[in-house]
Structures are given as C-alpha cells and as structure tokens.
Amino acid sequence: MSLPEMVIPCARIVEQGDPDRFRTVMAAPVSARAILFPLYALNVEVSRAPWVTQEAMIAEMRLQWWRDALEEIAEGRQVRKHEVTTPLAGVLRTDMARRLDESVAARRWDVYRDAFEDEAHFDRYIDQTAGHLMWTAAECLGAPADQESSVRSVALAAGLVAFLRAVPKLEDAGRIPLLDGTQDGVAALAGRIRMRLTAPGLPTSARAALWPATGVRSLLDQIARDPAMVAEGRVPTVAPWRLSFSALTGRVML
C-alpha cells in the first residue's frame, strides 16, 4: 500500500517544516500517514504564517485564509484548491474543522508582541494549538471520546516542551514568551505541567498520534532540574531510539 498521490505534497511540507513529526508519521502505518500528513502540513503552514512577514495585517490575512478554508470544509462547501486543503477536506469532519479553526485563531498571539495575560491564557494557547492538533489526530485514528482529556494532557506537555525550546528565538524576535522567565519560574512551569500528564489508554490504531510526545515526561523532568537549559537553548529533542521502540512495539513512551 502506497501513500495517496494527493498526500505526497503534504508529506514534503512536513518533512521540510517539521522533521521531528515527519519521523513519527513515517513510523506509522500507511493508512495513518494519509491522515496525519495533511493535519501536520496544516500545522506547519499555519504556525509559520505569522513569521513570514513583519506586517501584522499581512500575517492576519494569511491566518484568515486558512480560517476561511476550514470554514469551507466545516460547511461542506467546495474547498479552495491547495496542496494541503484538498486532502485535508477528506480527513476532517465538521466539528474537527471548527476545532482547528480555533487553533488558527489562537496563532494571532504569534503576530503581536503582547505578553500572555495570565497562566490561564498561556495554558489555553498551548491547548488550542498543540492540544487541538493532537486530539484531532488521535480522534481521526480512532481514539474514543473518553480519552480526550488525557490526550490533551499529553499534548499540553509536548506543546510546552516545544514552546520552551523556541523561547530564545521568540525573545530574539522581541516577544515576551513566558509569564515568569526566571529559572525558578521555568522550573515551576515544567513541574506544573508534568503533574498534569496522564497516559491515555488508546487503541493501537490511534497511538501514532501521541508519538510526537515521545519522551516528554523525561524532558519535563530535565527542564525542572536544569531550567537554565531553556534560556541557553539546550532543550533536547526526543531520542530516536524512543520513537523506534514505540513504532516496533505499538506502545507510547511518554
């Protein structure tokens, strides 16, 4: 079984824009790849939209383009032609498209230089971006509804690690990424999210959606012990052997 022709451009986008997720998808069955590549390609396109220009209005327009495309999918209308939207329309249900529209809207924070308002605002941003993406991926692969909370806890942890890895670049770009950027504040943040992490009980078919979070528990523990690694740009990526283990066994190594 080979990857559908229309999904191949999505695979290329993910390979170039999100190589870590690309590796997790390539470890999954082909049937899962046909679902995950369009979702992750959307995430690549949306996440970089605020950063390709310094003009806020243009960045807003780029995000709105994706919101309009998701609205077309949600309403069952003819979706605008694009290498991502065409296969994506075959993957998403109405509720999923509206959920991902909310994820695109959350990316407006990336356009401006305002700090997060409070802890709830920060958590909501991570959940609406990383959480919406992972839960949609898991749901598309057959995850039961009663596992949404635990999947989102995994996504929150993985999303936080990815965000902390990006902190130096965000600060260089003039952003204020953290409510408390001190070492104590970073350690407390990692510990708080670590405490919320719950391993979901997913069917084998849906576990590939969690593979981008492989090793996240260990990573959060490392950050809590050595919070200076965030400011110094030393937050590691997942060890390849962990992903290989998950792919070979069907288990998820959080």
Helix 132-140 and helix 94-106, axial crossing angle in degrees, nearest 10: 160
Same domain, yes or no: 226 and 242: yes
pLDDT score of 50:
94
- Choosing from 97, 112, 127, the residue where a domain stops is 112
Amino acid at 164: L
pLDDT score of 154:
98
Contact 147, 134 (CB under 8 A): no
What is the number of other CB atoms lying within 10 angstroms of the CB of residue 82?
17
Residue that the structure tokens 């390849």 belong to: 240
Same domain, yes or no: 106 and 124: no
pLDDT score of 242:
78
pLDDT tens for each residue of 167-177: 999 999 999 99
Domain interval for residue 70: 1-112
Predicted TM-score (pTM) above 0.85: yes
SS (H, E, C) 1-29: CCCCHHHHHHHHHHHHHCHHHHHHHHCCC
- The alpha-helical segments, DSSP class H, found in 75-147 are 85-89, 94-106, 108-111, 119-126, 132-140
CB neighbour class for 239 (10 Å; exposed up to 12, middle 13-18, buried from 19): middle
pLDDT tens for each residue of 195-225: 999 999 999 999 999 999 999 999 999 999 9
Same domain, yes or no: 102 and 166: no
Length of the chain: 254
Give the C-alpha separation, 74 to 89, whole Å: 9
Give the C-alpha separation, 151 to 170, whole Å: 27
Same domain, yes or no: 123 and 107: no
pLDDT one digit per residue (tens) for the chain, 254 residues: 688 999 999 999 999 999 999 999 999 999 999 999 999 999 999 999 999 998 999 999 999 999 999 999 999 999 999 999 999 999 999 999 999 999 999 999 999 999 999 999 999 999 999 999 999 999 999 999 999 999 999 999 999 999 999 999 999 999 999 999 999 999 999 999 999 999 999 999 999 999 999 999 999 999 999 999 999 999 988 777 777 787 777 778 88
Same domain, yes or no: 243 and 183: yes
Q: What residues have CB less than 8 Å from 213, skipping those under 6 apart?
A: 134, 154, 155, 157, 158, 252, 254
pLDDT score of 107:
97
Same domain, yes or no: 130 and 91: no
Instruction: For the chain, give percent helix, strand, coil, nearest 5.
Output: 70, 0, 30
Give the number of domains in the chain: 2
Same domain, yes or no: 126 and 230: yes
Same domain, yes or no: 131 and 254: yes
pLDDT score of 1:
61
Same domain, yes or no: 154 and 246: yes
Same domain, yes or no: 39 and 106: yes
pLDDT score of 238:
77
- Choosing from 112, 135, 164, the residue where a domain stops is 112
